[in-house]
């Protein structure tokens, strides 16, 4: 989906690596609150089907390459439960909307208040008594920020030698984000302004010297299988996924309900592979550029 800033969102924004599923310990749920909660956790799955903007299986275009990042954290800006295919965005049960600000000019997500969560970690919970009773077929989550490791090749000019490393990338995929500063891995980047969807910072330490890069993509894939009946605003990052069986909320629940939000990271980091070798080279003369960092699908599962 090509980036297009639409303030309408203020209503709510080649492969050479083996992609293997990682199993992590489950984070214990806080049981100090006696009220039954609806709990949301992230799961990052590199083996989940890779989708396009319309929710259809997607391949890597000719001239591009991609890899499966190793995720550290993600943040969400908006969460909604939708009862059917024709429910317009915002017409379902809106459970969460992160703080926004106009400090940078136009309305934007306030990154300083973003909640980050990793694999199997809770990123949001709400008392079930506060969720409208109903039967929900779809989950919609607007994603805002992601932090992960990628592999790359570093071109060292004096000897024309290639070195292979791992670096950390922080990317902002929400509709627009106000950032005072953010930390990639060890390095903090001062911004003090708004950044458009697709802004990213990359940190690496080749040959013992820490370097940072910044960039901007023009494309962020946002899978929405309901595009024909319930579209989302251009420039947003509202990923839509269907429950295998409807999530039914009665209002009389006596125990927690957990929804695992499985996000497809299957070749989600994509670049223009001008060197035609399947390796991302951020400093090579070939001028390889990041093309897309969008999440490639969402599958919600009730535990």
State the alpha helices, DSSP H only, in the chain.
none
pLDDT of residue 182: 98
Give residue 6's pLDDT: 38
Question: What pLDDT is recorded for position 247?
Answer: 98
> Following DSSP, what letter does each residue of 58-84 receive, concatenated?
--PPTTEEEE--EEEEEEEEEEEEESS
- 3-state SS of 182-232 is EECCCCEEEEEEEEECCEEEEEECHHHCCEEEEEECCECCCCCCCCCCCCC
Tokens of 248: 């039914």
- CA atoms of 219 and 180, how far apart (whole Å): 24
At residue 250, the pLDDT reads 95
Structure tokens given for 28: 């214990």
**Is residue 128 a contact partner of residue 257, using CB atoms and an 8 Å limit?**
yes
Which candidate, 116, 114, 115, 120, places its Cα nearest to that of 44?
120
Q: Give every CB contact of residue 122 below 8 A, 6+ residues apart in sequence.
A: 27, 29, 30, 39, 40, 41
What confidence score (pLDDT) does residue 111 get? 98
Angle at 10 between CA 9 and CA 11, to 5 degrees: 85
The one-character DSSP state at 54 is: T
Measured from the Cβ of residue 10, the count of other Cβ atoms closer than 10 Å reads: 15
Beta bridge partners of 139: 81, 241
201 backbone dihedrals φ, ψ, rounded to 5°: -130, 140
Residue 160, number of CB atoms within 10 A of its CB: 7
The dihedral sign for the CA sequence 29, 33, 36, 39: negative
For residue 235, give Cα distances in angstroms to 107, 238, 279, 287: 13, 9, 28, 26
SS3 label, residue 111: helix
pLDDT of residue 22: 47
**Confidence at residue 287, expressed as pLDDT on a 0 to 100 scale:** 79
Per-residue pLDDT of the chain (303 residues; tens, 9 = 90+): 434 333 333 333 333 334 544 444 444 444 455 799 999 999 999 999 999 999 999 999 999 999 999 999 999 999 999 999 999 999 999 999 999 999 999 999 999 999 999 999 999 999 999 999 999 999 999 999 999 999 998 766 656 667 889 999 999 999 999 999 999 999 999 999 999 999 999 999 887 889 899 999 989 999 999 999 999 998 889 999 999 999 999 999 999 999 999 999 999 999 999 988 899 988 777 678 999 999 999 999 999
Give the closest residue to 3 by CA, choosing from 222, 224, 176, 220: 220
């Amino acid at each position: 989906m090509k980036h297009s800033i639409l303030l309408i969102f203020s209503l709510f924004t080649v492969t050479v690596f083996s992609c293997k599923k990682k199993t992590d310990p489950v984070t214990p749920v806080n049981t100090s609150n006696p009220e039954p909660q609806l709990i949301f956790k992230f799961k990052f799955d590199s083996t989940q089907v890779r989708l396009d903007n319309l929710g259809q299986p997607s391949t890597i275009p000719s001239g591009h390459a991609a890899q499966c990042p190793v995720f550290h954290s993600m943040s969400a800006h908006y969460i909604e439960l939708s009862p059917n295919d024709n429910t317009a965005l915002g017409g379902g049960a809106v459970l969460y909307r992160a703080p926004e600000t106009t400090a940078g000019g136009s309305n934007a997500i306030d990154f300083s208040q973003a909640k980050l969560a990793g694999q199997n970690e809770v990123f949001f919970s709400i008392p079930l008594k506060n969720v409208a009773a109903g039967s929900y077929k779809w989950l919609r989550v607007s994603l805002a920020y992601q932090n992960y490791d990628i592999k790359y090749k570093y071109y060292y000019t004096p000897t024309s030698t290639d070195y292979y490393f791992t670096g950390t990338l922080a990317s902002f995929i929400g509709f627009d984000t106000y950032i005072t500063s953010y930390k990639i891995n060890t390095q903090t980047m001062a911004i003090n302004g708004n950044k458009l969807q697709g802004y990213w910072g990359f940190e690496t330490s080749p040959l013992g010297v820490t370097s940072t890069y910044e960039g901007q993509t023009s494309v962020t894939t946002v899978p929405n299988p309901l595009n024909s009946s319930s579209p989302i605003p251009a420039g947003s990052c509202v990923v839509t996924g269907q429950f295998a069986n409807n999530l039914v909320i009665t209002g009389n629940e006596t125990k927690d309900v957990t929804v695992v939000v499985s996000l497809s990271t299957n070749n989600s980091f994509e670049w223009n592979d001008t060197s035609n070798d399947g390796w991302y080279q951020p400093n090579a003369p070939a001028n390889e550029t990041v093309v897309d960092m969008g999440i490639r699908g969402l599958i919600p599962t009730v535990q």
